[in-house]
Amino acid sequence: MRHSNSRFLLLALAALFFFSNPSFAQDAADSPSVEENTTPVDEAGLEGDVSAGKDLFNSLCAACHKPYKRAIGPALHGVTEKRGKEWLYSWIKNSSAMIEAGDPQAVAIYEEYNKVAMNAFPQLSNSDIDNILAYVEQPKPEPKVAVATEGAAAAGQGGGAGVSTQVVLGILAFVLLLLLVVLFLVNKTLTRFAEANGVVIEKDEKTSKPIWKAFVENQFLVIVTTVVLLLVGSYYVYGFFMQVGVDQGYAPVQPIHYSHKIHAGDNGIDCKYCHSSARVSKQSGIPSLNVCMNCHKSIAEVAPETATEDYSKEFYDGEIAKLYDAVGWDPSTQSYTGEEKPVKWVRIHNLPDLAYFNHSQHVTVAGIECQKCHGPVEEMEIMRQHAPLTMGWCIECHRDTKVNMQGNEYYEKIHEELSKKYGVETLTAAQMGALECGKCHY
């Protein structure tokens, strides 16, 4: 009996571990793709290796085709029903030859898709093409609703630690409050009992002086208190004056929720990909929307795993839709409508007009990382001002930064003279004159 009991417990424990394992949800998320690969292809009447087809499709076709959605080229699902196999072989291997030869079907599709020529793929064999066709002819996978909810549940579990501390604190506060109320009530009842029983509660009659009078009469205490008060007060007053006009931490709500974390962090896109003018001009430009469309022409929705606890996939997809709306892109026809609505981004970093700052000078000439001033942007879901952008902050960096003069003829002579003057091997920006007033204020 005892033995079976422990076995049962063990089983229960195992089950518990199995279900509480976060990777379980991930397995579930992965499983549809496994199913995709194993689904019999016979349904479409095609023989071909689906997984090999997927690889080929992703590397060669996916730039212009999607299986179930129109992209630059038509959606490919169902293509084997529309066209004969031989026709497809020759079309894929060299479509432009067919158009020139005047094949009516070929010419029609060329006209329909804005005369965009499909690349020739002479390297594909007939069996390669069979594999690709087998892949695109798979039935469309059902929307992954179940998976999404499981993912959300897993996310909930993952965030449990953060929530639980708050809950515990809340409960503690509640218990404290309850105790206070109980104490007050007990006190009240006891007093009432005492009154009812005719017991006179002795009031603590003060015979001595009140405490504040004693305090005032003690000169030493008064002086010490005044000094402390003045010190604390001036500390706060100083802090108050020093933050006037400083926008550190400023994180306004932007018209489109653009996540630097997803773009620069997760996907590792270089800062200068979008802010290209930081290399060559005073301004680090806000990228115009055509730069967004370099990628978002083909990324109309985020992957399910991009969604976080705070921001759902629907939310992110909505933000991409805002971009399409602003730039005038119609995803259904894959073309620009010409109706543009400029996005009113809110400027975050703004130096006062009295100070001059040039991005290219710092980014290209000095080779400073963007993060040095802008902080860990690649971790920011919402962009905020990291540095105070005060003069003291600029000067501190100019004093510390060693100028890299290696292999730069421009600096050769000045380095020789200055290093002799200061008696140092490496020069800081300040020694090069980066503290001169006129460098930034003119």
Partner 1 sequence: MRSLFKLASICGLSLIAASCAGEKDRNYQYFPDMYEPVGYEAYGEYDIFVNGQEAKLPAEGSVPRGWMPYEYENNLDGFDAAKAELKNPLPYTEENVNEGAALYTIYCAICHGDKGDGKGTLVNREKILGVPSYDDMGRAITEGSTYHVVYYGLNSMGSYAAQTDEKERWQIVHYVMDLKNELEGKPKRDFMTPDEIAHWEKAGIAGDNANNKAQESADQNLSKEENN
- Residue numbers 63-92 binding partner 1 by CB under 8 A: 63-65, 71-72
DSSP 155: H
Residues 299-338 that bind partner 1 (CB under 8 A): 299, 303
Assess contact for 52 and 131: CB atoms under 8 A. yes
The nearer residue to partner 1, 25 or 278, going by C-beta atoms, is 278
Q: How near is the Cβ of 193 to partner 1 at its closest, in Å? A: 30
Q: Is 406 in the site for partner 1 (CB under 8 A)?
A: no
Q: What are the CB-based long-range contacts (under 8 Å, 24+) for 425-433? A: 426/402, 427/402, 427/403, 428/398, 428/399, 428/400, 428/401, 428/402, 428/403, 429/366, 429/397, 429/398, 429/399, 429/401, 429/403, 430/395, 430/398, 430/399, 432/403
Q: In which residue are the tokens 């007009």 written?
A: 353
Structure tokens at 299: 């990324």
Q: How far is the CB of 23 from partner 1 (least distance, A)?
A: 20
Interface with partner 1, residue 233, by CB under 8 A: yes
Judged by CB under 8 A, which of 102, 162, 198, 239 binds partner 1? 239
Nearer to partner 1, 1 or 211 (CB): 211
Selected from 62, 152, 320, 366, the binder of partner 1 by CB under 8 A is: 62
CA angle 8, 9, 11 (to 5 degrees): 65
What single letter denotes the amino acid at residue 74? P
Q: State yes or no: residue 393 binds partner 1 (CB under 8 A).
A: no
- Of 229, 230, 391, 424, the residue at the interface with partner 1 (CB under 8 A) is 229
CA angle 313, 319, 322 (to 5 degrees): 145
Q: Helices 85-93 and 126-136: crossing angle, nearest 10°?
A: 110
- From 12-20, 149-157, 293-301, 324-332, span contacting partner 1 (CB under 8 A): 293-301
Shortest distance (Å) from residue 36 CB to partner 1:
14
One symbol per residue from 148 to 187: x for binding partner 1 (CB under 8 A), - otherwise; what is it? ----------------------------------------
Q: Supply the DSSP string of 71-109, one letter for each residue.
A: SSS---TTHHHHS-HHHHHHHHH-HHHHHHHT-HHHHHH
Contact segment (CB under 8 A) with partner 1 among 75-83, 146-154, 164-172, 262-270 equals: 262-270
> What 3-state DSSP class applies to 124?
coil
Q: Exposure of 300 by Cβ count < 10 A (0-12 exposed, 13-18 middle, 19+ buried)?
A: middle
237 near partner 1, judged by CB under 8 A: yes
Q: What SS3 class is residue 247?
A: coil
Least distance to partner 1, CB of residue 104, Å: 20
Give the sign of the dihedral formed by CA 215, CA 218, CA 223, CA 228. Answer: negative
Decide if residue 256 touches partner 1 (CB under 8 A): no
Interaction between residue 236 and partner 1 (CB under 8 A): yes
C-beta of 184 vs 215, nearer to partner 1: 215
Indicate whether 58 belongs to the interface with partner 1 (CB under 8 A).
Answer: yes
Considering only residues 337 to 366 of the shown chain, the ones binding partner 1 according to CB under 8 A are 342, 344-345, 347, 352-354, 358, 361
Partner residues linked to 335 by β-bridges: 330
Q: Which window, 147-155, 233-241, 316-324, 368-376, contacts partner 1 (CB under 8 A)?
A: 233-241
Phi and psi at residue 428, to the nearest 5°:
-90, 165
The stretch among 133-141, 168-176, 270-278, 371-379 that binds partner 1 (CB under 8 A) is 270-278
Taking the complex as a whole, how short is the minimal distance between the CB of residue 66 and partner 1, in angstroms?
9
Q: DSSP characters for 161-230?
A: HHHHHHHHHHHHHHHHHHHHHHHHHHHHHHHHHHHHTTPPPPP----S--HHHHHHH-HHHHHHHHHHHH
**Comparing C-alpha atoms, which of 86, 87, 61 is closest to residue 76?**
61
Q: Considering only 44-52, 81-89, 145-153, 294-302, which stretch makes contact with partner 1 by CB under 8 A?
A: 294-302
Contact status: 437 vs partner 1 (CB under 8 A)? no
Q: Provide the minimum distance between the beta carbon of 112 and partner 1 in the complex, in angstroms, as a whole number.
A: 16
Shortest distance in whole angstroms from residue 110 CB to partner 1: 11
Residue 403: CB minimum distance to partner 1, A? 15
Q: Determine the interface stretch with partner 1 among 6-14, 267-275, 308-316, 371-379 (rule: CB under 8 A).
A: 267-275
* CA gap 311, 344 in Å, rounded: 22
Stretch 17-56 residues interacting with partner 1 (CB under 8 A): none
Task: Choose, by CB under 8 A, the member of 298, 312, 419, 428 that binds partner 1.
Answer: 298
